[in-house]
């Protein structure tokens, strides 16, 4: 390979790397944690209350503190089909309606014990959609919490590359 071709390839690569952030912005891709959710503000508050009921905040660590409610919004918007999303939102409203009927208060305004009781009623419901909703909320809340960066690094002592490589080690045989 001659020097002129190598120099030309180096200039083209450098120019591409310099303009890459501008291309990313024009495509709408950014490194910010923004997500235009399809959930209404009431649904978002309800989702946060449910995740906080499943894993309450203790010593600064809880589902809401780790952003699990935002994770669930993005998960449902991006990974589930429209009928599943609509059913999920319908069950959110059903849970809120059940709380209003039983406790004369919306789910987000209920006490922790009332929220637990309302969720447990959904977990033992004879209606398949309500039970599936509870199972999905519980499993994805736990998954979102356990895979959050703060929990993995600070609490579970997760290391990306565990162990250490020792190149030349004397072996006594």
Model pLDDT for residues 54-98, shown as the tens digit of each residue: 999 888 888 898 889 999 999 998 888 988 889 889 999 999 998
Domain count, the chain: 2
- Assess contact for 64 and 48: CB atoms under 8 A: yes
The verdict on 90 and 107 lying in the same domain is yes
Residue 123, in any domain of the structure: yes
Global confidence as pTM: 0.70
Residue 127 has which token pair?
A: 């209606």
**Residue 167 included in any domain:** no
Task: Say if residue 49 is in the same domain as residue 20.
Answer: no
Q: What is the CA radius of gyration of the chain?
A: 24
Full residue range of the structural domain in which residue 85 is found: 41-155
Pair (82, 11) in one structural domain: no
Q: Across the chain, where does the E strand assignment appear?
A: none
Residue 61 phi/psi, 5-degree rounding, is -120, 120
Q: What's the distance, CA 12 to chain centroid?
A: 38
User: If you count them, how many residues does the chain have?
Assistant: 173
The answer to the question of residue 168 being in a domain is no
Q: At residue 27, does pLDDT exceed 60?
A: yes
């Amino acid at each position: 390979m001659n020097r002129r071709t190598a120099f030309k390839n180096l200039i083209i690569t450098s120019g591409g790397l310099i303009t890459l952030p501008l291309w990313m912005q024009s495509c709408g891709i950014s490194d910010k944690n923004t997500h235009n959710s399809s959930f209404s503000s009431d649904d978002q508050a309800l989702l946060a209350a449910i995740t906080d009921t499943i894993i309450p905040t203790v010593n600064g660590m809880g589902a809401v503190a780790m952003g699990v409610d935002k994770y669930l919004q993005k998960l449902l918007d991006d990974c589930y089909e429209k009928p599943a999303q609509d059913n999920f939102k319908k069950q959110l409203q059903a849970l809120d309606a059940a709380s209003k009927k039983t406790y004369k208060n919306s789910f987000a305004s209920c006490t922790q014990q009332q929220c637990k009781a309302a969720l447990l009623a959904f977990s033992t419901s004879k209606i398949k959609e309500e039970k599936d909703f509870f199972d999905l909320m519980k499993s994805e809340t736990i998954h979102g919490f356990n895979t959050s960066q703060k929990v993995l690094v600070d609490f579970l002592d997760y290391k990306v590359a565990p162990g250490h490589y020792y190149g030349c080690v004397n072996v006594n045989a």
